Every structure is written in structure tokens, then in C-alpha cells.
Amino acid sequence: MNLSEFLKKAEDKGFVKVIKEPLDVNLEIPHIAYIEVKKDNSKILLFKNPIDRKENIKYDIPVVMNCFANFEITEFIFGKHPDRIAKDIEEILHIKPPSSLYEKLSTLSKLFKVKNAFPKRSKKRGECQEIIYKEDKVNLDVIPILKTWEKDGGKFITAGQIYTISIDGQFQNLGLYRLQKLSKDKLIIHWQIHKDGSHFFNEYKKAGKKMPISIGIGGDPLYFWCGQAPLPPKIFELLLYGFIREENPILVKSITNDIYIPHDLDIVIEGEIDPNEFHPEGPFGDHTGYYTPVENFPVMTVKAITIRKNPIYMATVVGKPPLEDKYMGWATERIFLPLLRTTAPDLIDYHMPENGCFHNLLIAKISPRYKGHSKQIMHALWGVGQMSFLKHAIFVNKDAPPLTDYYRIAQHILNRLTEKSFLITEGIVDQLDHASYEELVGGKLGVDATGGEVEKTVEVLDDETVFDMIKELDPDITGLKQYMIETANPITVISVNKTKPVRIIFEKLKKFSRYLRIVIFVDEKDNDLNNPYMLIWRVTNNIDSLHDVWIEEIWGVDATGKSEIDGYKREWPEDVFCNKEVIHSLMDRKVIDVDDEFLKKFQIIRI
Ligand SMILES: Cc1cc2nc3c(=O)[nH]c(=O)nc-3n(C[C@H](O)[C@H](O)[C@H](O)COP(=O)(O)O)c2cc1C
């Protein structure tokens, strides 16, 4: 199923919204997609007439965004529920030698699924090579590459499947990394230090050799999902594609290098990387909802662009949740449960809420069998593959409410916490994490809520009374809101107009420890104390538990932005916001149909 076939099928099911109005690749198209995917039951968007007003370009290639627009469409792309795929994986992992004819047949059918996983190499040209631009015909301007955010360093390919090969030619890798357009034939590749593409690149750099690379865009949307799948190094992600589709992926050789790519992609950009050529990349409004700062990354020189007839350019938008990665992440979470269990066998289930930006928050159900068991599993998760980027992990026992029933699970957790529930340690963090005081390493917070209910010792007063009481303590305090007051450990969120480290305010609050248990500080600017969804996003993003979590008479969490006054020496990033004029113009032109309440709810524009 190529992208056009997929879109036809999706259109028949009413999953696609076609937009014919000419719209700009700079901000307009990405802003529309950003807003659409935040709606309930959002749709795939097909922009038929992309333009670049500034550069005076009218593109021939349409743009499709939000292919993973909601749960139903995601399941449609996979062709089955992700839990079904997880079950198939679990069965393969537990294959035992068959002892009866029935068992032999059943084992055979399971192995047949594995056989289908292996990519097949075709000797023919692929559909993706119907039109070929080489040498001086290479021009990235034929592709409607988007500029998502106002302060982005330029235009970025956001749904590029990066195909690379190890220096000995033994292993291929597929990873999803963004690419910044530098010129008509140069792209900067943002593979982070922990990723397989970057590991391959280091082999070439060490040998002083140029690295071949092919970038696929479009084709079956499942390729895009496979690109982000956190498989271990040296396992080609298209094996997972074949396993899920139950048919071998068909690959063809790139025109200018030995990398094999899916035959039915829409666009392929082939090239090479000189291991000594780097360029500052960014800033880019990232999936954390913050801009990642400028940093040097390798440069790719494009040698060929090959496309199918009537191609479609696929793109995605990242920023503040919820976005397409909510649905892609859901599938990843479900499908990887059995693989995670190979490291942590007593893990019953887990969930990574999208407003915790996945690596910032995990809630897991376990079946503890001995003292310290949950702490053992915390360490296991912090040591396995990309799960080691995880910053905050909360463990509950198997009788807890469903992990996606957020209110009840929060109640359950808060009713089980004591000072002994917390483990704070250090480990690796995502290269995008801005909260850690040092790049790449930072705090890890594990919370063990697997025990029984605890007694409530805190006395609850209403918000106004507590605020009147504490605002006298320090002029930085500007607001207060309490959450989960019915539980043993209520949460008090305090906003500040910060002029000094909030640790100083925290010390003063101890005087009122009778009325306070968990106190979370946020900046007054850009936070809404009545918006718990966005507060969770903010808090889990902004804390490095080694510095910002204090388990004392009160439990304090400093989720404010940090600077020199906190001893933080890195550049604290800005939030991403849509451009107000662009949003209002789209509203006036009736291209988007949302109200101010919606814009506020997801902090889409700065108020
Ligand atoms: C939309 C999207 C964009 C991403 N962009 C990047 C990126 O620019 N750099 C990066 O290192 N990882 C990025 N990732 C995460 C990687 O795709 C993911 O970690 C993947 O497992 C990497 O594959 P690898 O382990 O084979 O390198 C992105 C993920 C998604 C869903």
C-alpha cells in the first residue's frame, strides 16, 4: 500500500480533509495541522496547493500531514490493534519446542510470521525512481519543505526516513531524524548522540570515509512509524514492518549508493556525508514543546532526488501535546510491552501519557514479590535502550485503576506516598532535555506507590485562605491552586514571579507544613494554574530531580525556568507558540474553526 493508495482508502472512510486553498509552507500549513490534531477525532490533512509566498514558489507536490491523526486511523494503518501485534511478539518470544502435532503446526504458523518479516531485495527500479534528478538537476526547492515555527532556523523535513548502512555493509538502519534545508543540495542531519544513525556515522568518521545516506519520504505510513521504533542497534526497523504487515517489505537499491530503500516511497533524497563537514542546526520547535538550541550536526550533500509519478510530500508537526506522536507513541507503547518485559519480567503494564512527552513520565503496574522490587525495575528501565531517557517513573501494584484513568490513578498514587516512596538517582537523559544542569546526564525520579494506603496528616484549607497565608511570606508568590485535596498527599501549585531561587521560598513555606504536602512551583508567565493538562507537561519537562525535588517536611518541586541565579549554566529554551497573526488570518479566512478557549486550552498562542 503506497501513500496514494492509503489516502484513497482513508478518504473512503472519511478520515481525510482535503484543502484546496493555496497555503504557505511557512507557518500556515504546519499551524493548521498543529491545531487539527489537537481536536477530538482529528483528520488527516491533504494540502493540494502548497506555496511559498516569500520565495514565490507554487509547488507541484501536495503535502499530507497528520497521517496518524487519531486512535482509529492509527489502528487502520497498522491493520490491527497494537495489542494484537504485542501478543504476536509475545508468542514468538516464548516459543517452546513443540511436543504434539497441533503444537508443531501452531509453532510453524508463528515462525511463518517471522519469515515474512525479512526485507526482499528487488533488482528492478522502484516506483520511487520513476523520475530522477541527478547532479546539477538536484534542487530541494521542488519539495514543499515546511517551516513550522516562527523562530525555527529554517525549513525542516520532519517525516524523513533516514536509511543508513554500517561501514562494513553488514547492517542497515532506519531512523526518523529531522533534516534542516541549508541550500538547494545540502541538508543538516539531526541524529542525536544516542541514536543508531549517529553510531554508524562515527564509524565512517573514524575511518575518514564519506558516508552514504538515503532519505525516504512517504510510501506506506507504517514506514514512518517504523523509523521512530526504538529497536536495539543493528536490527533493521523494516523487519518490524514485515512482521506487522505479514508480508516482506520490497526494497530497491538507491541510484547512487548501495542502500536499499522501500520500492514504493514517494520521494527519495540520496547523498553522502563528509565526516568533517558540520553546520549549526536549529533552533527548532521540538516535540518537548520547547525550541532546541543551535548545535553542530553533520551536513549531507544531495547527489540525487528520485520521485514517483504524482508524489505526495509527507510531513509532521511537533510541539506542545497532544500531537500526532500521541497516537504513534500509543502504538509504540503497546507493541514494545513484551520486549520491555524481557528485561523487566514483573512489569504487568505501563503507560506514557502524551503530556509527559513520553520520556518525561511513565506509570507502570507491577506485581512486587519482594522488598525493593519496584526499585529494581526502575533501574532496569533506566538501563534499557531508549527507555533509559525516562526521567520520572511511578509504580503501582496490579490492583490499581487503569493507567489511563488519570484521575483515579492519581488518587491511588497520592494515597500511597510516604518519604520512603522516592528514589532519586542520575542517568542519561534525552539530548533534547533542557532541565538537566549538565547536557546528556540528569536526575531520575522513581516513585514507589505499590504499598498500602497511608494516613492523611495534612490539614486542608481552601485555596484563598492558604494563598492569603503564604503570600505574606514572599513577594515573588503570585498565585495558588490546590489539586487532589481529598487524598492523603494534596498537591499545591504555586506560581511565582521569580527573582531568586525558589528554594528560598520553599524554606519559608515550611512554617506552614501543617497545611502543605506536595508543593510545586511554576513561573507565573505562560502557565495557567487551572490547566492541569498543560501543568503536567510543564512540570515533567522542567525538572531535574537531582536539583529540583526536595523531600523534607514538605515535598517540594521546582518546575520554574532556570537561569544563572539557580546555578544553571545552559541556555534555558523558549516555549513554542504559533504566530498570532497567522492564526488570526487563518481564522478570518475560515481555514481553521477554533475559538479562543481552544487556543488557551493548549497554549497555542501566547496570551
Ligand atoms: C516526529 C519525530 C521526529 C523525530 N526527530 C528526531 C531527530 O531529529 N533526531 C533524533 O535523534 N531522533 C528523532 N526522533 C526519535 C527517533 O526517531 C527515535 O529515537 C528512533 O528510535 C531512532 O532510531 P535509531 O535508534 O535507529 O537511531 C524523532 C521521532 C519522531 C516521532
Best probe residue, ligand 1, of 200, 228, 317, 388 (max atoms within 8 Å of C-beta): 228
Task: Say whether pLDDT at 110 is over 90.
Answer: no
- Determine the pLDDT at residue 115: 82
Ligand 1: nearest atom to the Cα of 328? 31
Q: Whose CA is nearest to atom 2 of ligand 1?
A: 176
Ligand 1 mean position, distance from CA 7 (Å): 24
Q: Give me the residue spans of the domains in the chain.
A: 3-81+110-315, 324-449
Ligand 1 mean position, distance from CA 347 (Å): 25
Three-state SS at 214: strand
Ligand 1 mean position, distance from CA 253 (Å): 23
Predicted confidence band at 104 (pLDDT cuts at 50, 70, 90)? confident
pLDDT in tens, 245-298: 999 999 999 999 999 999 999 999 999 999 999 999 999 999 999 999 999 999
- Determine the pLDDT at residue 92: 86
Helix, strand, coil share (%) of the chain residues, nearest 5 = 30, 25, 45
Task: Say whether pLDDT at 535 is over 90.
Answer: yes
Ligand 1: nearest atom to the Cα of 386? 19
Predicted confidence band at 102 (pLDDT cuts at 50, 70, 90)? confident
pTM given for the model: 0.97
Task: Say whether pLDDT at 100 is over 80.
Answer: no
Ligand 1 mean position, distance from CA 288 (Å): 13
Three-state SS at 340: helix
Beta pairing, strands 518-523 & 555-558 = parallel
Ligand 1 mean position, distance from CA 388 (Å): 15
Predicted confidence band at 401 (pLDDT cuts at 50, 70, 90)? very high
Ligand 1 mean position, distance from CA 197 (Å): 10
Ligand 1: nearest atom to the Cα of 237? 26
Ligand 1: nearest atom to the Cα of 191? 11
Query: Backbone dihedral region of 567: left (phi > 0), alpha (psi from -120 to 50 degrees) or beta?
Result: left
Ligand 1 mean position, distance from CA 209 (Å): 24
- Determine the pLDDT at residue 500: 98
The answer to whether 148 and 575 are in contact (CB under 8 A) is: no
Ligand 1 mean position, distance from CA 175 (Å): 6
Ligand 1 mean position, distance from CA 517 (Å): 38
C-alpha to C-alpha distance for 225 and 176, rounded to whole angstroms: 8
Ligand 1 mean position, distance from CA 430 (Å): 11
Residues within a 6 A CB radius of ligand 1: 173, 175-178, 190-192, 195-197, 227-230, 316, 318, 325, 328, 386
The answer to whether 12 and 75 are in contact (CB under 8 A) is: no
| Radius of gyration of the chain measured on its C-alpha atoms | 25
Task: Say whether pLDDT at 112 is over 90.
Answer: no
Dihedral in degrees, nearest 10, Cα atoms 271, 275, 279, 281: 70
Predicted confidence band at 94 (pLDDT cuts at 50, 70, 90)? confident
- Determine the pLDDT at residue 189: 98
- Determine the pLDDT at residue 377: 95
C-alpha to C-alpha distance for 35 and 602, rounded to whole angstroms: 9
- Determine the pLDDT at residue 466: 98
Ligand 1: nearest atom to the Cα of 229? 21
Ligand 1 mean position, distance from CA 228 (Å): 5
C-alpha to C-alpha distance for 501 and 506, rounded to whole angstroms: 9
The answer to whether 529 and 481 are in contact (CB under 8 A) is: yes
Please give the CATH architecture assigned to the domain spanning 3-81+110-315: Roll (2.30)
Q: Whose CA is nearest to atom 31 of ligand 1?
A: 228
Ligand 1 mean position, distance from CA 58 (Å): 30
pLDDT in tens, 175-198: 999 999 999 999 999 999 999 999
Q: Whose CA is nearest to atom 19 of ligand 1?
A: 228
Q: Whose CA is nearest to atom 5 of ligand 1?
A: 177
The closest of 420, 492, 414 to 456, measured between CA atoms, is 414
Best probe residue, ligand 1, of 166, 181, 195 (max atoms within 8 Å of C-beta): 195
Predicted confidence band at 52 (pLDDT cuts at 50, 70, 90)? very high
Q: Domain spanning 324-449: which superfamily?
A: UbiD C-terminal domain-like (3.40.1670.10)
Ligand 1: nearest atom to the Cα of 230? 21
Name the one residue in this structure whose C-alpha cell is 482513508. 10
- Determine the pLDDT at residue 96: 73
Task: Say whether pLDDT at 218 is over 90.
Answer: yes
Residue 277: what are its φ and ψ, rounded to 5°? -100, 115
- Rounded average pLDDT over 537-553: 98
Ligand 1: nearest atom to the Cα of 178? 8
Mean pLDDT score across all residues of the chain: 96
Ligand 1: nearest atom to the Cα of 159? 1
Ligand 1: nearest atom to the Cα of 174? 26
Ligand 1: nearest atom to the Cα of 192? 11
Task: Say whether pLDDT at 111 is over 90.
Answer: no
Which DSSP category does 258 fall into? Answer: S
- Determine the pLDDT at residue 116: 84
Task: Say whether pLDDT at 358 is over 90.
Answer: no
Residues of the chain above pLDDT 70, percent: 99
- Determine the pLDDT at residue 109: 72
